[in-house]
Amino acid sequence: MKPEFKLILRGLLFLAAGLFFLIWGLDGILYLTGGTIEDLIVIVTIVTIIYFLIFGIVGVAVIISRRRNILYKKIINCTACGALIKMEEKICAKCGAENTIRSEALDKLEDLERKIEVKRSENLKSSKMLKTRRSEKLQDLNDELLSSKARKVSLKKTQLIIGNTHEGKLEWIKTQYYDLGRTIQDIADDLDESMITVRKNLDEIESKDISKNEIDGHQEGS
């Protein structure tokens, strides 16, 4: 189960437990004060509505903040001509201007990666000092959340670096595999694709390189 789902599930469990103890307490108060069951139903209904309103407000606030956050945007306006372009496009197709918002997003992603790595290091240090089983579980959940966040940041960064073209993707894979010596598995993880797909991309790169070398050889021979 994904760490985000675990966190949501825990929140729902705490909500259910809170409602149970609230109803149990109100029932005791009504019993002592002579209140009716109808009064209890009305109070519980009001409290439940307030709970869901709070969750709804928080959810809307999260959605709005994500839409305003540059890292979550997929379509943006070109800063030069105002045309709609995809975030990962390096150059505006309409006016030819550089996509400066993409560069800004890459800088923010790199900064976010550093912050996540610092938090994970702090999490690892504090986990060695924990004694209780409950504390260890909470620490593990926190580490899972940080790992998931780091994964999403890495995927977004890779998309922005590659750009919106197949050629850009092939060039990136070529650099990662041949120049940096990374494994197919690592490259597939960064692209969120299967190893088979990456292997096909490498075959395509090798095929293009062979064809280019043959053309260059014929030109030199003539």
Per-residue pLDDT of the chain (222 residues; tens, 9 = 90+): 444 555 566 666 777 777 777 777 766 766 666 666 677 677 777 777 877 787 778 777 766 666 666 666 778 888 889 888 888 788 888 898 888 888 888 888 888 888 888 888 887 777 666 666 666 777 777 777 788 778 888 888 887 888 767 888 888 899 889 888 989 998 888 888 899 999 999 999 988 877 666 555 555 555
- My answer on whether 151 and 178 are in the same domain is no
DSSP state of 154: H
DSSP state of 91: B
Looking at the 3D structure of the chain, how many domains does it have? 3
Domain termination residue (choose one: 50, 68, 86): 68
Spatial CA neighbour of 102 closest among 172, 171, 159: 159
pLDDT score of 222: 53
Domain containing 187: what range? Answer: 165-210
Q: Which residues contact 70 (CB under 8 A, 6 or more apart)?
A: 101, 104, 105, 108
User: Does residue 221 lie within any of the structural domains?
Assistant: no
User: Does residue 219 lie within any of the structural domains?
Assistant: no
User: Does residue 17 lie within any of the structural domains?
Assistant: yes
| pTM beyond cutoff 0.75 | no
- My answer on whether 154 and 177 are in the same domain is no
User: Does residue 222 lie within any of the structural domains?
Assistant: no
pLDDT score of 129: 66
User: Does residue 217 lie within any of the structural domains?
Assistant: no
User: Does residue 83 lie within any of the structural domains?
Assistant: no
